[in-house]
Structure 1
């Protein structure tokens, strides 16, 4: 093979690969257009079927009309024969023969149209089923394609998300450390203030029950007990002496 032939084969191969890549990239668009083309062809086929049905019905009506004319002329021929007018009867018979010949010619055409109509209906029905099947399969392919694109996008973003999550965790830890340091500063500052004002010593005295005004549960119970004794004592009298109530 000469160099020019090899280069030509290389160019053709490259063009084929490039064209195939474009087709693969736009496969769904191509499928959608092909389905639209098939739908348009089906619409044209239905129009042709409708025209065929109309022509077949018109031909059947014409055959019916010819049959009606034959019946009419047969009645007329018998009437002419009944009156002895054989010439008129022959003329009518000739017309009947012409009509019957025309029926003989047209009847097979009507049958052919019926056969074509049946075949066309079957073809249209089968093609409709194929198109519907293709549409369902294309819908599934589109859904899968969308899911795969979403998964790819998530996978790409998650690679950067890991680094962003790590950075966010570091920032959160630094914030917590700053807050802990600030809380410790506030606590130490409050301790210094309590020492300056004596509030810390007052708290210790209150806890020990020494600071005036401080009380606990035992103190409250003791006070209530003393109050109860004071209420009961004035009602007790000397032994044998009646109380003022009893004397009255």
Structure 2
């Protein structure tokens, strides 16, 4: 029982959340785009910091390489002058600088990889935000159209003017013709008192007609 109630409660919460998301869909879209832009801004700042560090490391590496080249030249001159003491000291200094240069080169390689990955991520996020903004424009246009259509349906449903008009037309069109109904009633009355039978027999030549007809008028005028 508890499991069933928990399932029903979870389902009700999910449906309520879906309705809430649908109601505030446009606001949620704008908020998510703002959050994405904030994340992109932070990523750009990190990228700028990495690039700055990479350039600093590159300058120090280049300076170190220049010092090594200069020291190598001085060591050769010391050896040529048979100053073994200075040449040996310079050689130790060169070894230390070369080891430092190796470490700095490894640092530069790592920074270059990190910078490349982050730059790719920033470019992807930038394009995605552009797509999201275009999608938001389309979503807002569709939402406005849905609201207009919903309002129109609600108005028609509330007033029922169209249904009432259709019903009135059907009543007028389907109503019996009073003149035709009067003629039918006359025919029924005539059949009941047999006056229509007398007229039919008179028309057939049996006895005098009960009413004067147009044919009688023409015959009378012809005799004069």
Same fold (TM over 0.5): yes
TM-score of the two chains, using structure 2 as the length reference: 0.66
Partner of 2:29: 31
Pick 1 or 2: higher relative contact order, CA cutoff 8 A, min separation 6: 2
Aligned residues: 162
**Aligned-residue offset at 1:18:** 1.6
- Tell me the SS of whatever aligns to 2:138: helix
Mapping for residues 1-248 of structure 1, pairs under 5 Å = 3-157=1-155, 160=159, 162=161
**Aligned-residue offset at 1:126:** 1.5
**Aligned-residue offset at 1:20:** 2.0
**Aligned-residue offset at 1:83:** 2.1
Q: Using the alignment, how far apart are the partners of 2:80 and 2:111 within structure 1? A: 42
Q: Which has the larger radius of gyration?
A: 1
TM-score of the two chains, using structure 1 as the length reference: 0.60
Q: Structure 2: 5+ residue runs without aligned partners? A: 166-224
**Aligned-residue offset at 1:162:** 4.9
Change (3 A) 1:55 1:91: same
Q: Structure 1: 5+ residue runs without aligned partners? A: 167-248
**Aligned-residue offset at 1:15:** 1.9
**Aligned-residue offset at 1:82:** 2.4
- Tell me the SS of whatever aligns to 2:82: coil
Q: Using the alignment, how far apart are the partners of 1:5 and 1:115 within structure 2? A: 52
**Aligned-residue offset at 1:158:** 5.5
Q: Is 47-56 or 100-109 further displaced after alignment?
A: 100-109
